[in-house]
Structure 1
Amino acid sequence: MIAITCGELPMRLKSTALAVAAALLSSMAAHAADIEAWAKPVDAKVLEWRRDFHEFPELGNREFRTSKRVAEHLRSLGLEVTTGVAHTGVIAILKGAKPGKRIALRADMDALPVTENSGLPFQSKQTAEFRGEKVGVMHACGHDSHTAILMGVAEAMARHKSDIAGEVLFIFQPAEEGPPDGETGGADQMLAEGIFKTFKPEAVFGLHVFSTLNAGQLGYRSGPLMAASDRFNIVVKGRQTHGSRPWGGVDPIVAAAEIVSSAQSIVSRRQNLTKQPVVLSFGAIKGGIRYNIIPDSVELIGTIRTFDDEMRAQVFKDLANVAEHVAAAHGATVVSKIPDTIGNPVTVNDPTLTAKVLPSLRKVAGKDVVEMTLTTGAEDFAYYAKEVPGFFFFVGATPKGQDPNTAPSNHSPQFFLDESALPLGTRALLQISLDYLAGAP
């Protein structure tokens, strides 16, 4: 037995603590170096993949070319690959050299019915049919970069799987923006087809490039992050008549215009906005074909964004009430679907998981990791996060020096991605994944 005097004990404890701290810092520095060594060899490929997907975008449930290229790449890495999940989805499983934790990483693949006006040399010239109309197709939300980043992460991990303890499920998901009318799709469809039944992860991670952050920044929030999203459809039915004698029919255009106007008071005058934010927006008004013909009907479609279930239900009720009674005041009727489809729930970052992975983000971006306010955009990543603890974060897309508040937003024809977001996103997702699998603090 070795005797330790009272004076020696604090010094020995201090010495031990310093040694532990030094070892931890050394381990963190080595791990940071490993991330760079893992990520750098795939950077050029991620850039090439992103530009290719950007030039040849595909709408939801129609990601045939994209999913084929993703599947071919994953197979080339020797992963267990399954295609045709939720129509065009692809999943793959990587098994590390040692047993350990299970995680899932998700990227979305679909584009939007937007005609691109970015001026990029690889600008999309693709077209498709959407709601019966010929439209341009564009990766106006950045899903091309999400797909490319996850392909890069998969390759980096496959190259070093002998250093990985645990298993990783890579999810390449179609139709995040919603499936075509009359079809199913997206995250809830992938889950319904059992991807978490055959492989149940302990945690799921995802990212999104975001115009409201500058390149070099990573954004996060613990708890509720993104809003629940619901779509509505209101058809105002009148009676056709000639434009020269409106008294001969019932004008659905005037009734529809007043519905749009009156609906603005639902949020501003009927919701307690000190509790949670609410958004109600009309996205399209369609009716009529000729300047002097008052049509039979007008269609209104739009979106509702909420963070509270009671407030969500009340907006549904109030909008239906406004539509019915305003139309009636004009002698018209309405057929309303509020909501039109099953919407996305609130995207919630598990607080315990957020606290665990926040140091990983800071290893990659340091002081450029910023806490976000509530975001009224929506994400069907929320479905995965309802099944297992989830963490979803943002990667800045707007070039440094440009005000992100005035930059073209996600979904804009001018949406522009600073491509430095690609290596940053790759490293952030790798760092989170490897730290979690290794059990790092």
Structure 2
Amino acid sequence: MHDIRLIRDHPSDFDAALARRGFAACADRLIALDEARRAVVTELQAAQSRRNEASKAIGAAKAKKDEEAAQALMREVGALKERMPALEAEEREASAALEQALATVPNLPYPDVPDGDDETDNALVAEHGVIAERDFAPKEHDVLGPPLGLDFETGAAMSGARFTLVRGPAARLHRALGQFMLDTLTETHGFEEIVPPLLVRDEAVFGTGQLPKFADDLFRTTDGRWLIPTAEVSLTNIVRERILAAETLPLRFAALTPCFRSEAGAAGRDTRGYIRQHQFEKVEMVAIVAPEASEDEHERMTGCAEAVLTALDLPFRRMKLCTGDMGFTAARTYDLEVWLPGQNRYREISSISTCTDFQARRMNARFRAEGEKATRFVHTLNGSGLAVGRTLVAVIENYQQADGAVAVPEVLRPYLGGEKKLEPA
């Protein structure tokens, strides 16, 4: 959510920043809605003030035994009382109209974000690791996976397309990956481990920006709750409607949860294999910081996700997303893309975004420095550390052997009882 005061003060700059994201100019429309709201507020405040003044004057007129003046004032107060409910309703409607309009406008990109339309315009920041040379043609995970326990057929028969049953060695590797990621973030990087709700109310998904624009990408239950598309929703909403003490910041949360996405906007993409599922697990990082700390925190969080990939010895690269490829709430996003030898390409495995105060305004999440009366909105950041299913794919493809077995990365062996290799059935 944007600060309407900044839009009023800098309408041209606001529209220019939105244009970089391919979003139509809307400052004039938002300002007009705000002016309508302010006009109603002014009229309501004037009516309230006059009602109070007239009510006091009634007593003074009666004290002077000026019954005519008292009766006139009483009629005026009565008329004001009749008018005020309508004004209050108009003020609520005007405020709601402005909020609804603001709720559909994306965050503004930072100046260093490259301009562009889609992923082809993203900027390479750095490459890490060495792509291994093999004396055999590497296979894709959808070929290697079934003998290891990626049961695409049973998952689809049970639940439909984009659902997979994971069993046996693949299930053990999947569990090991999630636990290793969570242990790394909590024990090495100081994140607090959270077990959050998987079902949330409207205000939670509104706060992190999925509602109202992206409702079709979510699953909704019969009682009106939403299945989380990412633990970002639950973790960020921990500070909803709260005023935090400045000395408690930063707050860093991490959770390993199932995630649920309808993938409405991805029809026809990645229909094979385990890349794009309706249900998947992910380790999510969320940080709540003071505004002056958010730039450093973005780099820190990206480094935390990179540390997981480095420990797993997977080749990857960091990309800075262009304006046309960023998420709705992000001011800047880094994508980490892991090398998949079976596909002979890099694929996204983590997105780490700084959202400035955009989500905080939607959630009314603030902080106050000691000794100060004024509050400020916090900055929120989120990122994957990592998507477990996609990491499973990356390990299977990068650690595959010529006979279809998969070597276990050294850091995962303690989680698998020292096992060094997963053998196909």
TM-score range (shorter-chain normalised) is: under 0.3
Relative to total residues, which structure has the larger helix share, 1 or 2? 2
Q: Which has the higher contact order (CA 8 A, sep 6+)?
A: 1
Look at both structures and tell me which one has the larger radius of gyration over its CA atoms.
2
Relative to total residues, which structure has the larger strand share, 1 or 2? 1
Structure 1 length-normalised TM: 0.24
Structure 2 length-normalised TM: 0.24
